[in-house]
Structure 1
């Protein structure tokens, strides 16, 4: 499988960076942070964060827009994608193509630099989660981003973050076991808590660049984002 191409921002001057950080902190009550390059899951998953230099608030706040979608409906759509695979260049999935054409791509390009086209071959686990939210009508609660750290911080900023595995929750991982949001490397959906220290999940861009159902140890979980589903 081809190595993913991380999305990186161009150099900006210190004044612009300071102003951007101030605006972001004011908008979501959180600090802008730096992130490293994609990392590799030692359990054979690929690296999954479309890398960006700083976190930013997404348009809208979780909970402001109610959705008439259940966790079961979201998981059904996610599971229906199992088996979809990236191409030899680490891209070509419908999730990446959708994101590249989305309004959110324009916003994250403005935030991170690069171009929309960069997303077509970028790491796509967070794009998969975002796509499922869009297809089910749950995007206002699931959120959308290409960068796992920013996606997690959106949940945290909207007080939809915790440590309990719930079906339909958006689960964020760090292979090192870190509990820092800045260390997040991968994201997926919780299917269930197995009650034995593991969770069952459905994830994009895992294994050999596919959508798969997985069993993960909770020790690798940074935390969970909780969409406010119907029912």
Structure 2
């Protein structure tokens, strides 16, 4: 009877165990390689860190699980098949052979017991394989759960980041829209303010007409608009400074006081300096320009901005400062020696010449002024301030200055406004040079013509352009617009004078001026070339030096 070979069974078992160990080692090596690869790799620029990490964990874990499962499965199947085959062979030999030899029997018994051990070992291997498969499945489930959780967390983080980014983008876009809307609103507010002020100014022109017509509803509306305009506090508030706001002062009284101060300074120079001849030259800044500079500077002062619709002592001082910054009076005295030859009859039919020497002292007074543009440079006005200044001095606003300066609101008062704004100017250079003369002439008629042109009356055919008083008189007579000296004139009428004595009038006009107003039988006038300057004068109605009046058809 052949011996039962057990070495093959043992060898098979050992090989199965070696292969299991090899599979486990391979699994370990694969895990280490995957781990190192995940640790040493750099994420793609296109993926987020969370997405890259989730992908690497999933990839590495999947690789490990896949290789472990298949290695254990293959090795376990091989071990089980080998063990089954060996057991079957052992049982077959054991039952066929009858063992009589005690030693051989003992060997066979040992072999049988060894085979039973092998079977048990194989059974344990089978259990180990099952346990390994269950561990693999559990690990696989755990890994998949972990991967799924990581992926969900990464996606949630990605969604949160995207939401935050979208919210930030929306917030930035909203901020840009809000900023643009704010700028647009500010520009619209500025335009609306200017438009409202212009509307207020236009409404003021209709106030007197509305009062005469009894339009009380319109008057109330205008008053409300004016109150709103006063609250605006812009430079255009200067057009409402002609009314007393409770301080007892108006722009008109302040201007009159400054005019008196100006004339007093001229009188002081004249009286304090002995002279035989007075020569005056230059011209004074016109009041609308002075007031426009005052309005812009006062309302836009970065340190102490104030409204200009009202007048008080402090604002009057500001106005005086600007007036004297815009006007400068200088004077000088020159003495000359003149030789005079006088011829007389000695009584015997002979002509006797007598030569005498005389000293003559001449007082020269020069008035210089700065324009509104020069003051804008002096005060370093910015673009907005210069724009406001230009708007105040625009042609369309000229009639509004009459209400501010002189309380005149009717159309025929515009020429009075212009004339009064020239008070204090000396020498007449702006007027005779405008007319076309290259040097000084007697300029009273040039002054009247210049004022009429400023109002547009020459182009309209209301007042003629004339440099000789006789020409002006004839123009009004030819059109039936002439009145004699006993006429009670209205503001804006043109007054002509004949300076011959009461009994010797020759009927020719020697001088001309503009009627300012009539009060209590007294005619107040503004005249150019009165003592070589623009001055206010007054006469009683019917005064003998009055030749008559031209009455323009305003």
**Residue of 149, 160, 170 corresponding to 2:494:** 170
Q: What is the CA-CA distance between 1:183 and the residue it aligns to?
A: 2.1
421, 431, 440: which one pairs with 1:121? 440
TM-score (norm: length of structure 2): 0.24
Report the Cα distance in structure 2 between the residues aligned to 1:166 and 1:132, rounded to whole angstroms.
17
Larger Rg: 2
Gaps of 5+ in 2: 1-277, 280-398, 400-409
Match of 1:145 among 463, 466, 488: 466
- Encode CA deviations 1:103-132: one digit per residue, 9 max, x unaligned: xxxxxxxxxxxxx43xx3110000000000
**Structure 1 position 187, deviation (Å):** 0.3
Matched, 1:155 2:476: yes
Deviation of the 1:179 alpha carbon: 9.7
Which structure has more relative contact order (CA 8 Å, sep 6+)? It is 1
1:177 CA drift (Å): 4.1
Do residues 76 (structure 1) and 399 (structure 2) align?
no
Q: CA-to-partner distance for each residue in 1:51-70, whole Å, 9 max, x for gaps?
A: xxxxxxxxxxxxxxxxx982
Distance 1:132 1:179 in 2: 32
Q: Which ranges of 4 or more aligned residues in structure 1 deviate by more than 6 Å?
A: 178-181
**Does the alignment pair 1:210 with 2:533?**
yes
Superposed CA RMSD in Å reads 2.5
Query: CA 1:178/1:213 → structure 2, altered by over 3 Å: closer, same or farther?
Result: farther
125 and 167 in structure 1: CA distance in 2 versus 1, 3 angstrom threshold: same
Task: Kindly indicate whether residue 504 of structure 2 is the aligned counterpart of residue 183 of structure 1.
Answer: no
Gaps of 5+ in 1: 3-67, 101-115
Q: CA deviation at 1:144?
A: 1.2
How many equivalent pairs are there? Answer: 141
SS at match of 1:190: strand
Q: 1:98 to 1:179 in 2, by over 3 A?
A: farther
| Larger proportion of helix | 2
Which residue of structure 1 aligns with residue 435 of structure 2?
A: 99
- Does the 8 Å contact 1:179/1:221 carry over to 2? no
- Cα distance change of structure 1 residues 80 and 177 upon mapping to structure 2, 3 Å threshold: farther
Counterpart in the other structure of 1:224: 549
CA, structure 1 residues 74+181, in 2 after alignment: closer, same or farther (shift >3 Å)? farther
CA distances 1:135-183 after superposition (whole Å, capped 9, x unpaired): 1111221211110011111111111101322211000001234796842
